[in-house]
Amino acid sequence: MIISAHQARGILQRHSEETKPLRLSEINKAESNRRGDDFISVHKSEGGRTLILDLSRQRIDTFNHLFRLFGTLGIKEKIRDLAWGRTGRTGERREGPYNNFASVAMYHRSVSFANSRSLSDVFRGSRGDEVDGGAEGSSYHLAFRVPPGQGHVMYAPNDTSNVLDEIHTIFERVKHLSNSIRQGKRLGYSGRPMCDVLVVSAGGVVPKALEFIYELLLLDEHGEASAEVDASTLLPSKSNSQSNSNINCAAPQSSSLQSSVYNLVATPFKKHSTGSHGGSSPTKLFGQSHTTRRRRQLRVITSSDPSLIKRALSDGLRPSTTIVITLSLDREKERETKAITASIRNWLLSGLQDSVEQKSRDRAVAAHMYLVTGKDMMRRAGSNSYAVPNHTRCEAFSTFTAAGLLPLSILFGWDVAQRVLEGAHDMDSHFVESSARHNIPVLLALVDLWNEEFLGSNGRTVSPFSEALSAYPEFVARLESSVLSSSKCRPLVFGAGQSLNASTSTEFIMALKSSNDPTDHEQRLCKLFARADTMAFGLEDGARTRSFSSSPTALAIQSVDSMGSQSSVVPSDDVGDQTCTLLLCDKCDAYTAGQLVALEEHRATVKAWLREVNPFSPQSDPVQNERLDNIAKKLNDMKSVIANGGELEGGDEGREEEDNINASTMTMLRNYIHLDT
How many residues are listed for the chain in this entry? 677
Which pLDDT score, from 0 to 100, does residue 451 have?
A: 92
- Which CATH superfamily groups domain 171-237+247-412? Glucose-6-phosphate isomerase like protein; domain 1 (3.40.50.10490)
The pLDDT confidence band at residue 1, using thresholds 50, 70 and 90, is: low
Burial call 604-626: b when 16+ CB within 10 Å, e when fewer? bbbbbbbbebbbbbbbbeeeeee
Q: In what order do the strands lie in the sheet with 580-585?
A: 40-44, 50-54, 580-585, 505-511, 459-464, 492-494
pLDDT, one tens digit per residue, over 122-137 is: 223 333 333 333 334 4
For 534, residues 6+ apart whose C-beta sits below 8 A from its C-beta are: 576
Q: What is the mean pLDDT of residues 165-175?
A: 90
The pLDDT confidence band at residue 630, using thresholds 50, 70 and 90, is: confident
Which pLDDT score, from 0 to 100, does residue 312 have?
A: 87
pTM: 0.79
Give the helix ranges, DSSP H, for 114-220. Answer: 119-124, 163-182, 206-218
pLDDT, one tens digit per residue, over 356-408 is: 466 678 888 888 999 998 776 555 556 788 888 776 668 889 999 999 999 99
pLDDT more than 90, % of the chain: 33
Q: Tell me, which fold does domain 5-74+429-546+553-610 have in CATH?
A: Rossmann fold (3.40.50)
The CA-based angle 372-201-225, given to 5 degrees, is: 75
In this structure, are residues 601 and 140 in contact, taking their beta carbons and an 8 Å threshold? no
Distance CA 10, CA 247 (A): 68
Rg over alpha carbons for the chain, rounded to the nearest Å, is 27
The pLDDT confidence band at residue 492, using thresholds 50, 70 and 90, is: low
Q: What is the amino acid identity at position 44?
A: K
Average pLDDT, the chain: 75
Distance CA 143, CA 160 (A): 16
The CA-based angle 525-493-560, given to 5 degrees, is: 25
C-alpha dihedral, 439 to 443 to 445 to 448, nearest 10°: -170
The pLDDT confidence band at residue 242, using thresholds 50, 70 and 90, is: very low
pLDDT over threshold 80, residue 462: yes
How far is C-alpha 110 from the geometric centre of its chain's CA atoms?
A: 29
Burial call 415-436: b when 16+ CB within 10 Å, e when fewer? ebbbbbbbbbbbbbbbbbbbeb
Least confident range from 193-197, 231-235, 314-318, 626-630: namely 231-235
* pLDDT higher at 590 or 661: 590
Phi first, then psi, for residue 4 (nearest 5°) are -85, 170
The pLDDT confidence band at residue 138, using thresholds 50, 70 and 90, is: low
In this structure, are residues 613 and 484 in contact, taking their beta carbons and an 8 Å threshold? yes
Among 153-167, 180-194, 501-515, which range has the highest average pLDDT? 180-194
In this structure, are residues 344 and 200 in contact, taking their beta carbons and an 8 Å threshold? yes
Distance CA 614, CA 315 (A): 42
Which pLDDT score, from 0 to 100, does residue 469 have?
A: 94
